[in-house]
């Protein structure tokens, strides 16, 4: 049984690209003697020179002292050859994302380093189990996936291969905490946590575009304003690179044996085929000027039509108390459906229904979710064919009273934000079903790895698991596609909650 204490580890970082030099920076700042190795020693020297410039800027900003920089730089050396790594305790490789390259590297190191040396791979997509195969002492191979830029991004995914002991993962977790990172533990599975669970954020957005529900800039605005995301999916993939994001989606899709939930988008493939890769090509979804500036969506002006209509509230609207405070409405009495009636128009909070298919006899407007109705600047709505122009104007005037813009889109079950969030929740539940990571680690991974405003399970608690399940069931009923099938984990969670509520009800009855 190998024991692991990495608190004072001598570290080798292999690869002097942006990620490699960032990891080396973290190591030396946190007190580790570190050796940087690259096949191109001149490139490694250039990157170290660049690191000195980075440190100089940090000193100017007061984030680090000159003395701390001197001490850190004294810990860093450049290897003349791979044999210089013989006495290190921890190797962190950040080389090209190819299985055969990583395997060959670790096999070579296994003949040079001690049997106790830990081999950590910074891979973002390759199976750690596959990398470890064929390497002596495969139990010392582990994933240590930093996010770019490594010195800035808080999240680190610690990836357990089939033969990686929990003790090694815990030792790396302790080390990352000392480095002031937020480590999450995950099993070696395609995409690990972040690149797996994030797929619906892109997939559902591109599907809305393919179905011509909305425009790319309107979509981005909705996900930012209503969802609370830092960037919309079209902006974000333009920043990442459409080719890069498409490639990751393809690899996850193939690694899961063509599971429909991860199927790539024809909308994105069209951009990739055209060389419209985003900012780096000056054209993706958006067109970019020399300073990478681009035009974004702005909602139309608020309606100036005086609002004159009768309002009646049905149901308790328990999911949206902030909305009722904002609209100065009192929730209605217990009712099987939540409806705000504006004259003869039914305004409903979407639960995955289709305005066109599910409401045939009454004028119906479906409303998307908003992460903060108290501060909402806009709301996304769709309507069925019974609504005429004067009905839509009436709804716009209703929201305009409260300085809320209305964004109309075509009928789209669960609309934009709610649909994205319930699919993210469902993907998190699938990861939990397969024992990939804990709820807490999944939430932390998505908050700190891709800067989501909340983790999937935090959203689930806010919306209510039963509400999420019903929304997914409605989507599945409409589309009949496996990608909208509710996770067994979610179904079991809701059943357990309902069972506990029933037990509590029986206890209260018995007490009475």
Q: Could you tell me if 32 and 56 are in contact, meaning their C-beta atoms sit under 8 angstroms apart?
A: no
Q: Could you tell me if 157 and 197 are in contact, meaning their C-beta atoms sit under 8 angstroms apart?
A: no
Quote the tokens at residue 490: 């979610």
93, 157, 204, 427: the catalytic one is 157
Instruction: Report how far residue 23's alpha carbon sits from residue 47's, in angstroms, rounded to the nearest whole number.
Output: 12
Q: Could you tell me if 9 and 90 are in contact, meaning their C-beta atoms sit under 8 angstroms apart?
A: yes
Task: Count other Cβ atoms within 10 Å, centred on residue 165.
Answer: 17
Beta strands in 21-116 (DSSP E): 34-37, 76-78, 90-93
Q: How many helices (H) and strands (E) does the chain have?
A: 20, 14
Beta pairing class for 90-93 and 11-14: parallel
Q: Is residue 251 annotated as a catalytic residue, yes or no? A: no
32, 122, 127, 145: the catalytic one is 145
Task: Count other Cβ atoms within 10 Å, centred on residue 17.
Answer: 14
16, 122, 124, 474: the catalytic one is 124
Q: With helix as H, strand as E and coil as C, how does 305-341 read?
A: CCCCCCEEEECCCCCCHHHHHHCCCCCCCCCCCCEEE
Instruction: Report how far residue 39's alpha carbon sits from residue 108's, in angstroms, rounded to the nearest whole number.
Output: 14
Q: Is residue 157 annotated as a catalytic residue, yes or no? A: yes
188, 195, 382, 426: the catalytic one is 195
Q: Is residue 396 annotated as a catalytic residue, yes or no? A: no
Instruction: Report how far residue 181's alpha carbon sits from residue 448's, in angstroms, rounded to the nearest whole number.
Output: 10
Q: Could you tell me if 413 and 354 are in contact, meaning their C-beta atoms sit under 8 angstroms apart?
A: yes
CA 154 to mean position of chain CA atoms: 14
Sheet containing 155-160, strands listed edge to edge, beginning at the edge strand earlier in sequence? 76-78, 34-37, 11-14, 90-93, 118-121, 141-146, 155-160, 182-187
Instruction: Report how far residue 477's alpha carbon sits from residue 410's, in angstroms, rounded to the nearest whole number.
Output: 19
Bond before 163 cis per omega within 30 degrees: no
Question: Please, how many CA atoms are within 13 Å of residue 29, restricted to the half-sphere of its CB?
Answer: 22
Q: Could you tell me if 177 and 107 are in contact, meaning their C-beta atoms sit under 8 angstroms apart?
A: no
Instruction: Report how far residue 209's alpha carbon sits from residue 119's, in angstroms, rounded to the nearest whole number.
Output: 43
Q: Is residue 115 annotated as a catalytic residue, yes or no? A: no
| DSSP conformation class of 467 | H
The residues, ordered by sequence, that sit 6+ positions from 94 with a Cβ below 8 Å of its Cβ are 13, 14, 15, 17, 19, 20, 23, 122
Q: What amino acid positions are annotated as catalytic residues?
A: 124, 145, 157, 195
């Amino acid at each position: 049984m190998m024991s692991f204490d990495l608190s004072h580890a001598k570290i080798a970082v292999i690869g002097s690209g942006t990620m490699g030099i960032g990891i080396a920076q973290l190591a030396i700042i946190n007190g580790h003697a570190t050796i940087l190795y690259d096949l191109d020693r001149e490139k490694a020297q250039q990157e170290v020179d660049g690191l000195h410039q980075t440190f100089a800027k940090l000193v100017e900003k007061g984030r680090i002292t000159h003395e701390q920089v001197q001490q850190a730089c004294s810990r860093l050396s450049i290897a003349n050859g791979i044999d210089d790594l013989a006495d290190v305790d921890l190797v962190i490789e950040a080389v090209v994302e190819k299985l055969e390259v990583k395997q060959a590297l670790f096999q070579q190191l296994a003949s040079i380093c001690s049997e106790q040396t830990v081999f950590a791979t910074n891979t973002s997509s390759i199976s750690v189990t596959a990398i470890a195969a064929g390497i002596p002492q495969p139990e010392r191979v582990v994933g240590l996936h930093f996010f770019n830029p490594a010195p800035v991004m808080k999240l680190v995914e610690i990836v357990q291969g089939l033969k990686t002991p929990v003790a090694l993962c815990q030792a790396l977790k302790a080390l990352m905490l000392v480095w002031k990172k937020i480590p999450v533990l995950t099993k070696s599975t395609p995409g690990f946590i972040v690149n797996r669970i994030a797929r619906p954020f892109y997939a559902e957005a591109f599907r809305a575009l393919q179905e011509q529900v909305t425009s790319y800039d309107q979509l981005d605005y909705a996900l930012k304003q209503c969802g609370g995301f830092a960037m919309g999916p079209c902006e974000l993939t333009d920043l990442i690179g459409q080719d890069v994001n498409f490639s990751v989606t393809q690899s996850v899709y193939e690694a899961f044996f063509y599971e429909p939930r991860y199927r790539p988008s024809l909308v994105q493939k069209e951009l990739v085929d055209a060389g419209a890769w985003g900012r780096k090509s000056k054209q993706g979804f958006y067109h970019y000027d020399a300073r990478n500036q681009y035009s974004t969506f702005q909602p139309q002006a608020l309606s100036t039509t005086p609002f004159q209509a009768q309002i009646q509230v049905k149901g308790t609207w328990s999911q949206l108390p902030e909305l009722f405070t904002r609209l100065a409405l009192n929730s209605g009495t217990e009712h099987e459906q939540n409806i705000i009636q504006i004259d003869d128009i039914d305004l409903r909070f979407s639960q995955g229904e289709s305005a066109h298919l599910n409401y045939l006899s009454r004028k119906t407007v479906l409303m998307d979710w908003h992460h903060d109705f108290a501060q909402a600047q806009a709301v996304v709505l769709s309507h069925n064919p019974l609504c005429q122009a004067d009905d839509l104007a009436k709804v716009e005037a209703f929201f305009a009273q409260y300085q809320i813009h209305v964004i109309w889109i075509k009928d789209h079950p669960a609309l934009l934000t709610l649909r994205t969030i319930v699919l993210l929740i469902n993907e998190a539940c699938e990861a939990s079903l397969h024992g990939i990571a804990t709820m807490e680690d999944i939430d932390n991974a998505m908050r700190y790895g891709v800067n989501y405003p909340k983790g999937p399970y935090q959203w689930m608690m806010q919306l209510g698991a039963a509400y999420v399940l019903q929304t997914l069931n409605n989507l599945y009923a409409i589309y009949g596609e496996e990608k909208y099938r509710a996770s067994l984990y979610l179904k079991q969670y809701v059943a357990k909650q309902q069972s506990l509520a029933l037990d509590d009800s029986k206890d209260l009855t018995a007490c009475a």
